[in-house]
Homo-oligomer: A and B are copies of this chain.
Amino acid sequence: MSNIREVSRAAGVSIATVSRALSNPEKVSEAALKKVYAAIEKVGYRPNMMARNFRAVRAYSIVVLVPNLSNLFFATVIRGIEDAAQQKGYSVLLGDTRDSTAREEEYIRLVETRQADGILQLRPHTPGKSLEPKVAIPMVSACGCENTPYPSVRIDNTGAAREIVDYLIDQGHRRIGVLSGLVDNPHAVDRLRGYKEALAAAGIPFDPDLQINGDFTLGSGLMAASHFARMKDRPTAIFSMNDEMAIGCLQGLKSAGIKVPEEMSVTGFDDIEFARYSDPPLTTVAQPAEELGRVGFQTLLELIEGKELGNTETVLPYEFVVRKSTPPLKG
């Protein structure tokens, strides 16, 4: 627990010289530098970052708000964030909010009390329900949705959904079920719009009976499957809004005796690694998860450093991935 004063004593120079030797070595003579480095070694000095940051009025850390850390898509985004943050000397404070705005508020306090410099929000913004952007709280959305009222980085969810459903229609499907998220989930909203647009473009009327809302978990996919299985006029394909639900759905369909993909096509969204290992492997949309995290961090850093960004949107490209869960419809 030695401090800068001990170093200065051991080196026989002033405290200021030690400080300069560390942050502006070019302003210190060779001789003094040598003495300082030797002294640092000798007394085992480590600068106290709390003191340094305190002076700098910057915590050099950001908080990442994630609705559910066990969601592999989010986990991957976080890896990207951490990667970028570490390169810039920032640490990442984890806030698993379990979809609770109240918990989010608690983490906001970390930046209000200067324990963190900004917020990277992974939960998409729901007007009237989510944390509203506050001035003086740098915040950016790292895997957001349309109409986010603060800077965001995202993919074109609507377009990606449209592309998937277009593909299913091309494969011959006319009755396409949709396994959505909760009605007010913004990702669900955007993707549902894409689904409807694709249907409309093909002249297929939207049938509300074919929409089942889950919550992006495996379990809700399983539940949804049993609904779909029991329908009198069952769909021939299901567009699921994430891979977890699609995989849950796969199992539900099988245990209902429905063969996938022979009797039912299923698509996912995100392209988590498990999507390649399901049976059958899932046709899905690959989001550039790590990149979303990296770009999200960079955007946040600009905000922290004082740039005015308004509610800039950065839209990154996605990739449509065809696997075996969507063969052409027979008959």
B-binding residues in A (CB < 8 A): 46-51, 53-54, 57, 59, 61, 63-64, 69-70, 72, 75-76, 78-79, 82, 86, 91-96, 106, 109-110, 112-115, 218, 222, 247-248, 250-251, 254, 273-274, 276-277, 279, 281
**Which residues from chain B contact A222 at a C-beta distance below 8 Å?**
277
Task: State whether B69 touches A78 (Cβ < 8 A).
Answer: yes
A55 to B159 CA separation, bound complex (whole angstroms):
53
Nearest-neighbour CB distance to chain B for A7, whole angstroms, equals 14
Q: List 29 A-B contacts (CB under 8 A).
A: A46-B112, A47-B113, A49-B110, A49-B113, A49-B115, A50-B53, A50-B54, A50-B57, A51-B54, A51-B114, A53-B115, A54-B54, A69-B79, A72-B72, A75-B75, A78-B96, A79-B96, A82-B94, A86-B106, A91-B93, A91-B110, A91-B115, A94-B94, A247-B274, A247-B277, A251-B277, A251-B281, A274-B274, A279-B279
A82 to B50, CA, bound (A): 22
Of B72, B82, B277, the contact of A248 (CB 8 Å cutoff): B277
User: Does the CB pair A50–B94 fall under 8 Å?
Assistant: no
Report A231 CB to chain B, min CB distance, Å.
Answer: 22
Question: How far, in whole Å, are A160 and B47 apart by their CA atoms in the complex?
Answer: 45
Bound: A330/B156 CA distance, A: 52
Complex: chain B residue closest to A252, CB-CB: B277
With CB as the reference atom, state the residue of chain B lying closest to A82: B96
CB distance from A59 to the nearest CB of B (A): 6
User: A54-B50, A94-B92 given as contacts; is B279 within 8 A of A251 (CB)?
Assistant: yes
Nearest to A78 among chain B residues (CB) is B69
| Separation of A48 and B53 alpha carbons in the complex (Å) | 12
Q: Which has the most chain B C-beta neighbours within 10 Å: A53, A61, A64, A277?
A: A277
Closest 8 CB pairs of A and B: A49-B113, A46-B112, A50-B114, A50-B54, A92-B94, A49-B115, A94-B94, A279-B279
A63 to B93, CA, bound (A): 9
Chain B contacts for A78, CB-based, 8 A: 69, 94, 96
